[in-house]
Structure 1
Amino acid sequence: MKTVEYNFFVKEMSCASCVSRVEKALKKIDGVIDVSVNLATEKATVAANANVELETLMAAVDKAGYHAVKITEQNASGEEINQQASIWPIVIAVLFAIPFVLPMLFEPFGWHLMMPAWLQLILASIVQFGLGAKFYRSGFKSAIALSGNMDLLVAIGTSAAYGLSVYQLINGHDDHLYFESSVVIITLILIGKWLESRAKHQTTQAIKALSALRPQVALVRRNEQEVTLPVSQVQINDIVVIKPGERIPVDGVIIEGSSSSDESMLTGESFPVNKTVNDKVTGGAINGEGLIIVKTTAILADSTLSKIIEMVESAQAKKAPIQRIVDRISAIFVPVILLIALITLLIWGFITQDWQQALLHAVAVLVIACPCALGLATPTAIMVGTGVAARHGILIKDAEALETLHNINIVAFDKTGTLTVGKPELVEMDIMGTETPEQILSIAASMQAGSEHPLAKAILAKAKQFSYGQNITSVSGSGVMATIDNIDYYLGSERWMKSLNAYFVDMQDKISEFNHKGYTVSFLAKQQSEDKVVILALFGFSDVIKEEAKTAIEALHQLNVKTVMLTGDNQNAANYVGQQLALDKVVAEVLPQDKADHIYQLQQGDKQVHHYKVAMVGDGINDAPALAAADIGIAMGTGTDVAMHASSITLMRGNLFLIADAIDISRRTYNKIKQNLFWAFFYNLIGIPLAALGFLNPMIAGAAMALSSVSVVTNALLLKRWKARS
């Protein structure tokens, strides 16, 4: 049966236990295959059979005590859903809390500023049931569902402190009131949630920045008139006019004009890229100094920018494997905390017979136990890591890829178009006769004029570097044989030269040298006499190694990553590239269908290392099986769509440095996840025993709980300082 994926927002979640509850409710629906709920983005991603309807899923969320919201064009960025909490409840709570805090601060100095009991009751009631109403609503829904969340713990804890104070007040013991505990705890938690909301907003900046690149209108030429249309109405093959300084509204090909394109927000390329007729342009980039006319090649939904946003959103919505540990803990967290609080109350009560103090210790346990930090630890780091990677031209498909990438031991490369430029160049020439290099190139270029063969283009490109190139004229001939100034010239392979009985003079060493370097060798010869053909020169063609390839390989070695090249090219050519780049291993003459088998062999490792994590880097259709077989497939964005779809990571530029950058940001993100989980568990593992043993005042516990969530999100935001090598 066909599988579909649904995405929608889930409001009113407060912690990891909420996430667990929503996921459990959705998984109960027949036909649901997989569920992932992200606390940081407040988004649910559900894979289900086609017969499952979105309304059914959303109804299950509402029944669980939360609020599901459809994703529309208006709220797709999450702005309307994840709006930062208002500051006003915080201001009111602080103003109400100050009269409770000041007496505690001045008491050591002999100043007694405590308010009358009746005024404490009024202020505390407003905070408890007015500003704290959200905790009761959420906690009640959680309890009805026989589950638990952070809000339930807060509601029970503060109600206990408030209720004890009311009890004391009724019995005339107004010198032992604990209203300040409930008021200050609620105030601190509200402050913490507001700071958390503010920090979470910063984690979504990557998506917001990418979405902001979408122009709203385009100047389209139709029926010999220029009309301004919404970008959504632009069709494929429409002619779009883009003025200097404007943001390019569509993906397309330049059919008139030339300019430069600032693609930094899309690819991370820091310098503008020159564009002219037949060059592709990408929607979202900024047109430079020239007016260009572009023929549209993709509508809005299929544009490069839309695909980038979709990939980043997907990565941020999915869970990393390490999150499963947190999910298992979160499912039982609240019930366990409630049990610990009850045990604390009973033990302290029966041992000391001071049930008031016992209740306060139990309140401290309830308040400090915050599963919120656990829920935010992984997704916030993933969001910031994938966001900063996208800003530098590294698109990560999902959180699992980001987590797997940090363990990569080997990076396997395709050669052509990945480690090399992807088109042959004339790199070396050896002249046997008395002609000058200029004369030899002029003859060869004249013979190749008009040819579309890659080697012909290489000769013509070389010839244009010299002033004589402009004097080259096309001559009649048969492509590689031409008559120039009544002399017959031949340009071709060694085999053809031998069939012509060409005269080879002391050139075997040079031929062997060219072959050893992996060059494609061509010979230029002329008819010296009726029965004698002599070699004038031999040309060495090679697919030139990318300028940054060597230092990029060195960067991988610095990360303790081995490098391997898998290529269908001949052994000599492969060995030469391997030696130039100091690759750890070269495997040549590999058929496209066999590359996946070689990836599998690399993964098996050797006797010392039983298994390697292998990343495959490629850019062509023939690389797709190997990209899919690798633990991580990395596609060069300059390559084909097939390679990009088969890969886990796409590099928007052909710069090989991005591979080391991708591994580096993965390792840093994974370290942040581990740090966040450490702090989230640390707060609870240290705080709960201290509270149970009576060493924590409930207000201090509340401050610690609020701080835990804020510190986790803030730690993740430090990833934004990461800088790419490229």
Structure 2
Amino acid sequence: MQQKSNLTNKNLSALKNVDETFEIELNIEGMNCASCVNHVEKAIKSVPGIIDASVNLATEKALISLHKNVKKTTIISAVEKAGYKASSVEINTNENSRIDKLQKGNETWKVIISALISFPLVLPMLLIPFSIHWMLNAWLQLALATFIQFYFGGRFYISTWKAMRAKSANMDVLVALGTSAAYCMSVYQMIVNSMQNSGGVLHLYFESSAVIITLILFGKWLEARAKKKTSAAIRALQSLRPDIARVLRNGEEQEISIHFVKIKDIVLVKPGEKIPVDGNIIEGFTQVDESLITGESLPVDKVTGNKVTGGSINGNGFIKVTTTAIGVEGTLARIIRLVESAQAAKAPIQKLVDKVSSIFVPIILIIGLLTLLFWGIFSGNWEKAILNTVAVLIIACPCALGLATPTSIMVGTGVAAKHGILIKDAEALELAYSINIIAFDKTGTLTVGKPKLTHLLPFQISENELLKVSAALQTGSEHPLAKAILIAAKENEIQIPKITNIQALLGKGISATIEGKNYYLGSEQLLKEYNVDINKDLILAAQKFSSEGESISYLFEKDTDSCKLKGLLSFSDSLKSSAKECIASLQKLGIRTILLTGDNAGSAQSIAKQLNIDRFYSNILPEGKAAFITQIKSTNTIVAMVGDGINDAPALVAADIGIAMSTGTDAAMHASGITLLRGDPLLIPDAIDISKKTFQKIRQNLFWAFIYNIIGIPLAAMGLLNPMVAGAAMAVSSVSVISNALLLKRWKPANGINNN
């Protein structure tokens, strides 16, 4: 759990803004296996001022946490000294531009030409079963094999040289040594035969070195193609960005690049067009397709005053939108960044892989040397010894080992985002399927979050006076109960007076001075704190409203001598239609559910009873929620917290996994590991399901990555594996691991889509 502690510290640091650190991302080129990942990470971490670095083989990127005084050029230089290439990630760079190079032009032709040149070398072996004994001229074999060895295989020598300079070893070292051994042995045979003029049958192995290089190039090509599919979710999100926006400036309609749109610009969106910016509708009404952003399958009705998200598709209405966010601050851009961040991060299970891969290549080199010596000394057949050593070196290339975890995470987080589940870090993805307890906030999480003022019970003042003072205290507040009061005041045409000395009482209420008098509005806990006497009739009324699931607020006046109760306000909020099904689904999974709310006991009990929640705790302050979560965690229980408000942020950070509703505050979303883009409770069991499916794939991939080597290396060392078969197996292992991860793309939410 130590890593979780580090993550918690990072989140707390972000919330408090006390640490002058930040993160950057770099493209890394030249990595071929898990060993490369370790070398790049070590090189980056060796730079003074680097806090942490996570390198991902599948995305070919490094996510680096560093102090502000560290220069990016210093990091790039350290990576280059380690034998790799690093560059900045441009905001508008196509995610797959580097991968695309492997699908087009030179790279594709290299695979084709290498295969065509290798074919005459391997053809005699294919003809033997048909009793056709034909052999290509030895010098022609040398010419063809040399071209493949040093032109197409030149990259392996360059990479090996860089690795040796950096005092490290990677997959390319194994390939270079293995193919060079087969090639040089064949050249040696030709020289000896020529010097002795024996004229006997030559045993050449040019086809082994040529075919191995061709197979590796082909495997890399297939691997790159499969990698591209793993990032399909990111590309789908990126494709939502329109290039042009139609804006209204100086009374004229203009088409401009999306990059030149400004905050408060009025954007015109015609039927069927993509909405280019985040904003609020100021004219018109329509339906908007937000499926690729939130996973919502049905179009959502939008009217004047409603928010729209850039990248969503306008329906059949013409709307005018005033811009509220552009560029990297837009919702779509933030979602893309968060998904990319999750895909670049490492899951805790990757630690085991990293430890293995850090010593893997040196161990294989030792096994290869022992194989060479054993066969050469005990059998006296050094030719056979070299071939067996080549097979060992080739079969052991740890490509699949490095791809097993990141490819599964890429596909898993991508398909989750497609269905409205934004997983922000790999640790949350790994832990989600192990959750034992889920604690829920009430308002906005299990309820719709749009409470209405249902009862006003004044005491020694009029209803209008009670509503006027309460509305004045809540002026400018974004709290759901505050909005309900302000709406009621507006409907009753109440003139709201000015206030001074306003003070928020976190989790309890608010106080301010109105027309020279000090007023407090808040919970029963605030009432008790100031020893306010409450009328018996009001107590009975409060108990009745609470038993019906309503929330209660009290207004009192405080003077120098005492506090005087002025009235009671009650609010009702309807449950989300999928809340009960969510709780039932979680309980079927064996997960215990808890309700943590700052509301009164009666309201909490009513909600818990309606939803069949296992336990409930009422009148809990924000710090109390966090302490409660911490206490549960101390029993070695995996705890998730679900919330949507700023008051929930401490508890979200304290939990093993914080799950935030996107319909809530930014503070809650920043403090969480998972964000539900539709605010639908049913996405919670779906998030657990995709977590389970993803880590099933990771385990399967690691099994296959290890099993190829566990079976293949002994077979090669015993002389039972042809070097060309070893090369094919190595290529197949990488592609099979990625293909298995891609099966996650078929995942669908088990609980369906709900329209809340």
TM-score range, shorter chain: 0.7 to 0.9
Residue-by-residue CA offset, 1:323-370 (whole Å, 9 max, x unaligned): 122112222211111111000000111111011001111111000001
User: Shift in Å at residue 7 of structure 1?
Assistant: 1.3
User: Shift in Å at residue 611 of structure 1?
Assistant: 1.5
Instruction: Name the residue aligned to 1:590.
Output: 620
Instruction: Name the residue aligned to 2:683.
Output: 658
Residue-by-residue CA offset, 1:517-540 (whole Å, 9 max, x unaligned): 334699xxxxxxxxxxxxxxxx99
The 2-side partners of 1:669 and 1:231 are apart by 36
The 2-side partners of 1:554 and 1:45 are apart by 39
Instruction: Name the residue aligned to 2:611.
Output: 581
1:336 aligned onto 2:366: no
1:217 aligned onto 2:247: no
Residues 616, 23 of structure 1: alpha-carbon distance in 2 compared, 3 angstrom cutoff: same
Equivalent position amino acid for 2:730 in 1? M
1:117 aligned onto 2:138: yes
How many residues are treated as equivalent by the alignment? 653
Report the TM-score, using the length of structure 1 for normalisation.
0.85
User: Shift in Å at residue 240 of structure 1?
Assistant: 1.1
Select the residue among 9, 21, 24 that pairs with 2:39: 21
Secondary structure at the aligned position of 2:113 is classed as helix
Secondary structure at the aligned position of 2:448 is classed as strand
Instruction: Name the residue aligned to 1:155.
Output: 176
Secondary structure at the aligned position of 1:600 is classed as helix
Instruction: Name the residue aligned to 1:466.
Output: none
Instruction: Name the residue aligned to 2:519.
Output: none
Once the two structures are overlaid, the 10-residue window that deviates more, 209-218 or 67-76, is 67-76
Instruction: Name the residue aligned to 1:517.
Output: 548
The 2-side partners of 1:268 and 1:287 are apart by 16
Residues 171, 574 of structure 1: alpha-carbon distance in 2 compared, 3 angstrom cutoff: same
The 2-side partners of 1:131 and 1:52 are apart by 38
Select the residue among 366, 373, 391 that pairs with 2:418: 391
User: Shift in Å at residue 99 of structure 1?
Assistant: 2.1
Report the TM-score, using the length of structure 2 for normalisation.
0.81
The 2-side partners of 1:629 and 1:512 are apart by 33
Secondary structure at the aligned position of 2:625 is classed as helix
> Is the Cα contact below 8 Å between 2:99 and 2:225 reproduced in 1?
no
1:623 aligned onto 2:641: no
Instruction: Name the residue aligned to 1:186.
Output: 213
Residues 76, 187 of structure 1: alpha-carbon distance in 2 compared, 3 angstrom cutoff: closer
The 1-side partners of 2:588 and 2:308 are apart by 36
> Is the Cα contact below 8 Å between 2:551 and 2:600 reproduced in 1?
no
Instruction: Name the residue aligned to 2:638.
Output: 613
CA RMSD for the aligned pairs?
3.1
Equivalent position amino acid for 2:592 in 1? K
The 2-side partners of 1:632 and 1:364 are apart by 46
Select the residue among 600, 603, 617 that pairs with 2:633: 603
Instruction: Name the residue aligned to 1:687.
Output: 712
User: Shift in Å at residue 248 of structure 1?
Assistant: 0.6
Equivalent position amino acid for 1:164 in 2? M
Residues 100, 590 of structure 1: alpha-carbon distance in 2 compared, 3 angstrom cutoff: same
Residues 540, 592 of structure 1: alpha-carbon distance in 2 compared, 3 angstrom cutoff: closer
> Is the Cα contact below 8 Å between 1:259 and 1:289 reproduced in 2?
yes
Residues 260, 143 of structure 1: alpha-carbon distance in 2 compared, 3 angstrom cutoff: same
Instruction: Name the residue aligned to 1:362.
Output: 389
1:345 aligned onto 2:372: yes
> Is the Cα contact below 8 Å between 1:427 and 1:541 reproduced in 2?
yes
The 2-side partners of 1:268 and 1:518 are apart by 31
Residues 420, 127 of structure 1: alpha-carbon distance in 2 compared, 3 angstrom cutoff: same
The 2-side partners of 1:720 and 1:500 are apart by 61
| % identical aligned pairs | 57
User: Shift in Å at residue 55 of structure 1?
Assistant: 0.9
Q: Which runs of 5+ in 1 are unaligned?
A: 429-443, 463-472, 479-497, 503-507, 523-538, 605-609
Instruction: Name the residue aligned to 2:429.
Output: 402
The 1-side partners of 2:173 and 2:298 are apart by 53
The 1-side partners of 2:427 and 2:552 are apart by 46
Paired residues for 1:195-206 under 5 Å: 195-206=222-233
Secondary structure at the aligned position of 1:321 is classed as coil
Residues 501, 64 of structure 1: alpha-carbon distance in 2 compared, 3 angstrom cutoff: closer
Once the two structures are overlaid, the 10-residue window that deviates more, 379-388 or 78-87, is 78-87
Residue-by-residue CA offset, 1:286-334 (whole Å, 9 max, x unaligned): 1111111111111222111111011011111111111122112222211
Instruction: Name the residue aligned to 2:28.
Output: 10
Equivalent position amino acid for 1:244 in 2? P
Secondary structure at the aligned position of 1:418 is classed as coil
Paired residues for 1:456-495 under 5 Å: none
User: Shift in Å at residue 75 of structure 1?
Assistant: 2.2
The 2-side partners of 1:406 and 1:374 are apart by 23
Instruction: Name the residue aligned to 2:163.
Output: 142
User: Shift in Å at residue 591 of structure 1?
Assistant: 1.9
Paired residues for 1:426-441 under 5 Å: none
Once the two structures are overlaid, the 10-residue window that deviates more, 698-707 or 396-405, is 396-405
User: Shift in Å at residue 275 of structure 1?
Assistant: 0.4
Instruction: Name the residue aligned to 1:530.
Output: none
> Is the Cα contact below 8 Å between 1:672 and 1:716 reproduced in 2?
yes
Once the two structures are overlaid, the 10-residue window that deviates more, 594-603 or 365-374, is 594-603
Q: Find the structure with the greater CA-based Rg.
A: 1
Secondary structure at the aligned position of 1:135 is classed as helix
The 2-side partners of 1:644 and 1:123 are apart by 60
Equivalent position amino acid for 1:238 in 2? D
User: Shift in Å at residue 124 of structure 1?
Assistant: 1.3
Paired residues for 1:56-67 under 5 Å: 56-67=74-85
The 2-side partners of 1:333 and 1:573 are apart by 59
> Is the Cα contact below 8 Å between 2:96 and 2:228 reproduced in 1?
no
Equivalent position amino acid for 1:418 in 2? T
> Is the Cα contact below 8 Å between 1:11 and 1:81 reproduced in 2?
no
Instruction: Name the residue aligned to 1:164.
Output: 185
Secondary structure at the aligned position of 1:115 is classed as coil
> Is the Cα contact below 8 Å between 1:253 and 1:296 reproduced in 2?
yes
The 2-side partners of 1:334 and 1:219 are apart by 57
The 1-side partners of 2:746 and 2:636 are apart by 34
Instruction: Name the residue aligned to 2:458.
Output: none
The 2-side partners of 1:240 and 1:684 are apart by 58
The 2-side partners of 1:519 and 1:375 are apart by 54
Q: Which runs of 5+ in 2 are unaligned?
A: 1-18, 194-199, 456-462, 475-479, 497-533, 554-568
The 2-side partners of 1:9 and 1:344 are apart by 38
Residues 258, 166 of structure 1: alpha-carbon distance in 2 compared, 3 angstrom cutoff: same
The 2-side partners of 1:149 and 1:658 are apart by 42
User: Shift in Å at residue 515 of structure 1?
Assistant: 4.9
Secondary structure at the aligned position of 1:420 is classed as coil
Residues 474, 672 of structure 1: alpha-carbon distance in 2 compared, 3 angstrom cutoff: closer
The 1-side partners of 2:358 and 2:453 are apart by 65
User: Shift in Å at residue 599 of structure 1?
Assistant: 1.0
The 2-side partners of 1:225 and 1:213 are apart by 26
Residues 116, 2 of structure 1: alpha-carbon distance in 2 compared, 3 angstrom cutoff: same
The 1-side partners of 2:535 and 2:67 are apart by 67
Paired residues for 1:273-284 under 5 Å: 273-284=300-311
Select the residue among 415, 438, 450 that pairs with 1:423: 450
The 1-side partners of 2:100 and 2:344 are apart by 14
The 2-side partners of 1:521 and 1:612 are apart by 33
Once the two structures are overlaid, the 10-residue window that deviates more, 78-87 or 110-119, is 78-87
Residue-by-residue CA offset, 1:53-87 (whole Å, 9 max, x unaligned): 11111111122211112222442524246633432
User: Shift in Å at residue 43 of structure 1?
Assistant: 0.7
The 1-side partners of 2:404 and 2:483 are apart by 55
1:636 aligned onto 2:661: yes
The 1-side partners of 2:494 and 2:158 are apart by 89
Instruction: Name the residue aligned to 1:231.
Output: 258
> Is the Cα contact below 8 Å between 1:367 and 1:702 reproduced in 2?
yes
Secondary structure at the aligned position of 1:565 is classed as strand
> Is the Cα contact below 8 Å between 1:595 and 1:626 reproduced in 2?
yes
Paired residues for 1:31-50 under 5 Å: 31-50=49-68
User: Shift in Å at residue 219 of structure 1?
Assistant: 1.2
